[in-house]
Amino acid sequence: MNSVHTMGSIAFVSPLTRLCPWGSYLCGALSEWGYPYASSLTFFADLVCFSPLMLMMRLQRIGRKNDPSYRIVVTDKRTSTKSDRHIDRLGSYNPKMNSVQIDATKAKEWLAKGVQPSDTVYNILVGQKIVEGRKRNVLPRKSPIVDEAALKRAAEEAAAKAKAEADAAAAETPTEVAEAAVAA
């Protein structure tokens, strides 16, 4: 359901009204109450409620326990992954059977509109040759395991070694001085 919004002498159609239905109702109520620019507020209410910049292309799990399968959907970034409130279904992905079914034209349209794919969906799009580029690393970067006890032992050993070298240097110095005095 599209609604026509006017702002001054400019009229435009907002397809987002069905996604954010309270925007039009709120502004309709405001105009009934006597607010003069309520019709132009509808557009801003739609934008505030559902901004195209917040759209994301991601996976939605639909499989059973121990049998994962996913839908590839376009959804608002703020919605839960388990909610069924998506804007468009683009295809499906079954990792066990390694099958991907995706509507390439729809995916390209949404990407042209500025939808950001998640890393996994981006890798699927690259694998299907819908998007040009290299695959992204979706695994977290591993940090080295820090063993504090081993670090403490190594520091103590380094300090003991430095002390032993200093003692050895101090022990050699008096003997060298004495040998030099005897030789003179």
Same domain, 57 and 73: yes
Residue 85's pLDDT is 84
Return d(Cα 29, Cα 90) in angstroms, integer.
Answer: 36
Q: Is the pLDDT of residue 117 over 70?
A: yes
Query: Domain holding 91: CATH number?
Result: 3.30.1320.10
Same domain, 123 and 65: yes
Same domain, 92 and 45: no
Return d(Cα 49, Cα 42) in angstroms, integer.
Answer: 10
Return d(Cα 64, Cα 68) in angstroms, integer.
Answer: 6
Residue 51's pLDDT is 47
Q: Is the pLDDT of residue 101 over 50?
A: yes
Return d(Cα 115, Cα 93) in angstroms, integer.
Answer: 19
Return d(Cα 121, Cα 58) in angstroms, integer.
Answer: 6
In the numeric block, which tokens belong to residue 47?
């934008």
Rounded to the nearest integer, the mean pLDDT of the chain is: 75
Q: Identify the CA nearest to 37 among candidates 49, 24, 27.
A: 27
Residue 33's pLDDT is 53
39-56 pLDDT, tens digit each: 554 444 444 454 445 899
Residue 31's pLDDT is 56
Residue 22's pLDDT is 46
Range of the domain at 112: 53-127
Residue predicted with more confidence, 106 or 37? 106
Query: Domain for residue 104, yes or no?
Result: yes
Query: Domain for residue 92, yes or no?
Result: yes
Residue 52's pLDDT is 46
Residues in the chain: 184
Residue predicted with more confidence, 146 or 52? 146
Burial of 104 (0-12, 13-18, 19+ CB in 10 A): middle
